[in-house]
A and B are shown apart, each in its own frame.
Chain A
Amino acid sequence: MLGNYALSLYRTLSRHKLYAILNSLALALGLAVCLVLILVVRFETSFDRWIPDARNIYRIDRTDLVAGRAPYTEPSTQGVLLPVLQTDFPQMRASARLMDISSVVRSSGRQAYERTVFADPSIFDVFDLPFVAGSPRGALADLSSLVISQEMARKYFGTDQAIGKELTILVDGIPRNYRVTGVLKDLPPNTHLNLGLIARYSIDIFPQEKELMNRWGNDFLFTYVRLRSAADAAAMQQALPAFIDRRVTDDVDLPRSQHLKYRLVPLPSIHFADAKIQGAFKPGADPLFVAALGIMGVATLLIAISNYVSLATARSGMRAREVAVRKVVGATRRALILQFVAEAVVMALLSGLIGAALAEIAMPGVRVVLGEPVRLTYFGPDGVVLPLVLGCLIVGLISGLYPALVLSGFRPAAVLASARAPGGGRAGTRVREGLAIFQFAVAITLMICTSVVFVQMDYLRHVDVGFRRESLLVVRDTNTEDAAPKMAAMMDSLRRIPGVVSVAASTRRPATDTNLSRNGRRLDMPSINPTLTYELVSPGYFDTYGVRVVAGRPLGTAYRLDDLSGHKDLAYDLQTQINVVINEKAQRALGYPTAQAALSGRFSFGRRDDGRPMVATIVGVARDVRFLSPHQPADPQVYMEDTRLAGKGGFDPWSIAVRLDAADRAAVTRKLEQIWRAMVPTQPLRAESAQAALQPYYDPDARRGQLFAIGALLSAVIACLGLYGLAAFNTSRRFKEIGIRKTLGASTADVLRLLIGEFLRPVLWANVIAWPVAYLAMRWWLAGFDQRIDLNPAYFLVPSLAAVLVAVLTVAEQAVRVSRAEPSRALRYE
């Protein structure tokens, strides 16, 4: 019997090639998209789960709750935390701290920046990682021990077997010699850890942190703990607020557990948690975005399935006679249902094969768009063959069941008595129309979302971020022991390069956050005392960065009180006066209704190094500057100028900005490199444009836009394939009717209107569903941006019109052909 079914299917498909191609292609596309997106979701949700005992390993994240600022969460904690935790929570199975910094690594005459982790030796008790050489036991026995990855071993020594080999690492400018004591197997890409080089953490290596080790107002180490069970984790989490009140002794406002929170983040969740915080090993993934990808994959597959159902039921009439004859010779309904479901399953399996091939072809492009190393593996624990086969079986079952029920339900007597093939009746037409509405609703929703995402991305690329990001070069790591003393001379040399307009130094740069903050208290209204971040800048900062001052003036050298270091020569005063510029956020935080109203306002702002309280006078209000993600609002900020910045005995700048004119940027960069190499030969130059520095904050959303665009395009293609097939079937069924209409006087245009109008109906109805869904989704997504576009009706109208146009074009060819046929041909047809 199965052989007979297979034969029948083969012959049917051979005879009706268009239908076979349309259906299998649509199903294959749907399966391919679903497969790729499920792979992506699987990759994103698999982070760190491969680490042994992953579910019992936690990173402790810290959240600061400060009045006037949004809660601020960081993945790093205080250096003093872990020793105290170990005393109060002896049930911890293992624990370790890690510090991740960028260091200069030297070997065999070459040097490069590498990410270097300094960790407690117990790191390998927390993370049970495989070694290809050496052993975790004692791998970080002393301060010269170094564990490296296979990749680093091959990079520096050309072999995995690097035990005993040596590297020099500059730590805070001091060269330290290390001996390789272990080689880690390269970690798979699905981990938040970045462990190329691991050395032992010690205060002896970072003596400047000795003082911090006894204080609670800092965060510079990742703290990981390994517990025994989820119950232990729950108990520890619950006990942490009391721990904070008991053990945190300073630097946090009272009550301490209200201003400081710790959270045990399970290892498998870290990748998603890091999507919303700065300073992690790697950027995380937005869980909602990953979920949206999964939904899009399933939605595309559902479109393909509904395509199959729609086409199969539309064409069911073609096989009505076959069904009637089979019933006449003795086939039961069950046998017929089995036959048609089996046909659908075979189609699904064939489509699965084609879909897998399409997915394989698409993978390189997917990796580029997503920026993730997702792979398609066929066999093994991550293999897709078995799940794909199972998926195709289920898809075949779902797709085939309804058409099988329709087909097997034909009454032989009615079919054999009728000259016309049944089309499924009104119910069948309604089902097909419903399916077409569903398909186009999904496609139009995706198209609207895509257009909104693209417009928002374009807006962000050009929106005023408070400074001029084009033609601005930023040099980083200028505060190292080697580089800092040379910065004043460096800046003078840079100013003399043709093409350089201005140079300035500061304690911030694009793509970094600032953690310098103090309380400000208005002198005239002491109840207003927000926390304000501050940035120290050199003269010329506002011109170099192009920060616009909207009221008052920028800081400058013409005014003595503008300069922090100008106070050296002042006689001792009970208070230190300093002129400052604040940003608009700070203006509102300080309670000034307008920028103009803030001018000449005064507030206390912490103390000088010598203990004298500082009083700031506002001389200017600047636009908010965004150095970070477009999702993050700017902090209230105070600018203070210090001519000692990068000067002799001055404050070490964290970065230097160079404003270029329209000259050859490459030539300027080459000259900068020469100057740097001459002045700081022990440290490679790290410079990039402000645009490039900010790119990682915009890339994820840009990728989202691309993915939605691809999803929209593919779902529209699948929907149109289905529409084409339906149109082909429908127009052939109505050939005689059209002949009669034309005989009675209908023109070609009348017939076209009739045929095309019929197919436009589901597309128009689809908008009724798509518009509100897309509106709600985009309103929610846009709310996550501090700067955003308004939802314009054009973003809805244009994709909808495009969908209508595509639908018309899809059916037009057949409609035109049929509408132009001679009536006599049609009437002779029967």
Chain B
Amino acid sequence: MIVLADIHRLFRSDEVETTALREIDLAIEEGEFVAIMGPSGCGKSTLLNTLGMIDKPTRGRYLFRGQEVTDLDEAALARMRRDNLGFVFQSFNLIDELTIAENVELGLVYRRWAGKDRRARVEAALDRVGVAHRARHYPHQLSGGQQQRAAIARAIVGQPSLILADEPTGNLDSENGEQVMEILKSLNREGATIVMVTHSPAHADLAKRVVSMLDGRIVVSARRAA
């Protein structure tokens, strides 16, 4: 599904040059659940952002379902994200001025779905994650766990083929964290491809493959025994 070949990512400012990713080669199959681990600053989030097409590599090739992504313009990338990807962030990143339902339907708005169709899909997604009763509330009125579940609903409402989660349990207590991981697992069981950045070995164990990074490189990519 995904092929990264010799990906490099350099960050340049006036005085400083930082190499966040170097010589990244990675292939991810449909339906895989991949956990990416490593110390702070090793490039995990940069790798996730590259996979999520919200950051462009400095060098290398990225093929998504056989299509070369690296040369696409911004509008094409936006369409790719809209039609294929779902994101879950550590700090939820719900828009404060919109209700939960309005946050979840945002992707469908950009797909220009009719209101009735959007509502039905949003209801189903919120139901799936167990926060349908909070649809009309604003993010600040929900607990952290509920907000993250709402963010997952936003990520899955468009039925994406790839879900990217950047430390989805990082700001949650253990109980809520477990609930979130349970949702991700069940999504994977249903066929969703998931790539998750995590610091938690316990959560990484839930994935089928763990990719370890250090200093911008993949040092280990190991499939877990079934």
Q: Which of A321, A324, A326, A329 has its CB near the most chain B CB atoms (within 10 A)?
A: A329
Docked Cα-Cα span, A1 to B82, in Å, equals: 15
Residues of B within 8 A of A325 (CB): 93-95, 106
Closest to A334 in B: B75
Docked Cα-Cα span, A4 to B82, in Å, equals: 17
Considering only residues 390-431 of chain A, those with a C-beta below 8 Å from chain B are 411-413, 416-417
Residues A8 and B81 in contact in the complex (CB < 8 Å), given A1-B109, A329-B107, A330-B107: no
Map CB proximity to A onto B108-134 as digits: 1 under 8 Å, 0 otherwise. Answer: 011110000000000000000000000
Closest to A408 in B: B74
Map CB proximity to B onto A1-32 as digits: 1 under 8 Å, 0 otherwise. Answer: 10010011001100100000000000000000
Closest to B112 in A: A1
Minimum CB–CB distance for B56 against chain A, Å: 9
Interface pair B82/A333, CB less than 8 Å apart: no
Interface pair A326/B106, CB less than 8 Å apart: yes
Interface pair A322/B54, CB less than 8 Å apart: no
Residues of A within 8 A of B74 (CB): 332-333
Minimum CB–CB distance for B1 against chain A, Å: 19
Does B45 interact with chain A (Cβ within 8 Å)? yes
Considering only residues 111-170 of chain A, those with a C-beta below 8 Å from chain B are none
Residues of A within 8 A of B93 (CB): 321, 324-325, 328, 416
Considering only residues 328-381 of chain A, those with a C-beta below 8 Å from chain B are 328-335
Q: Do most interface residues of chain B lie in helix, strand or loop, or is the interface mixed? A: helix
Residues of B within 8 A of A15 (CB): 96-97
Docked Cα-Cα span, A8 to B98, in Å, equals: 7
Docked Cα-Cα span, A12 to B98, in Å, equals: 9
Residues of B within 8 A of A416 (CB): 49, 54, 89, 93
Residues of A within 8 A of B215 (CB): none
Does B83 interact with chain A (Cβ within 8 Å)? yes
Interface pair B78/A332, CB less than 8 Å apart: yes
Residues of B within 8 A of A333 (CB): 74-75, 78
Interface pair B81/A329, CB less than 8 Å apart: yes
Docked Cα-Cα span, A411 to B154, in Å, equals: 20
Interface pair A335/B98, CB less than 8 Å apart: no
Interface pair B75/A330, CB less than 8 Å apart: no
Q: Which of A4, A15, A322, A413 has its CB near the most chain B CB atoms (within 10 A)?
A: A413
Residues of A within 8 A of B102 (CB): 4, 7
Map CB proximity to B onto A672-698 as digits: 1 under 8 Å, 0 otherwise. Answer: 000000000000000000000000000
Residues of A within 8 A of B82 (CB): 329-330
Closest to B90 in A: A416
Closest to A15 in B: B97
Residues of B within 8 A of A417 (CB): 45, 49
Does B62 interact with chain A (Cβ within 8 Å)? no
Closest to B86 in A: A329
Residues A328 and B52 in contact in the complex (CB < 8 Å), given A15-B96, A15-B97: yes
Does A327 interact with chain B (Cβ within 8 Å)? yes
Residues of B within 8 A of A331 (CB): 78, 110
Residues of A within 8 A of B96 (CB): 15
Docked Cα-Cα span, A11 to B139, in Å, equals: 13
Does B87 interact with chain A (Cβ within 8 Å)? yes
Closest to A331 in B: B110
CB-CB nearest 3 A-B residue pairs: A330-B82, A11-B97, A413-B55
List 20 contacting pairs A-B, 8 Å CB cutoff, sorted by A.
Answer: A1-B110, A4-B102, A7-B98, A8-B97, A11-B97, A15-B96, A321-B95, A322-B97, A326-B106, A326-B110, A329-B107, A330-B83, A330-B110, A330-B111, A332-B74, A333-B74, A334-B75, A335-B110, A412-B49, A416-B89
Given contacts A8-B97, A15-B97, A326-B106, 14 further A-B contacts (CB under 8 A): A1-B112, A4-B102, A8-B98, A322-B95, A325-B93, A325-B106, A326-B95, A327-B81, A329-B154, A332-B75, A413-B49, A416-B49, A416-B54, A416-B89
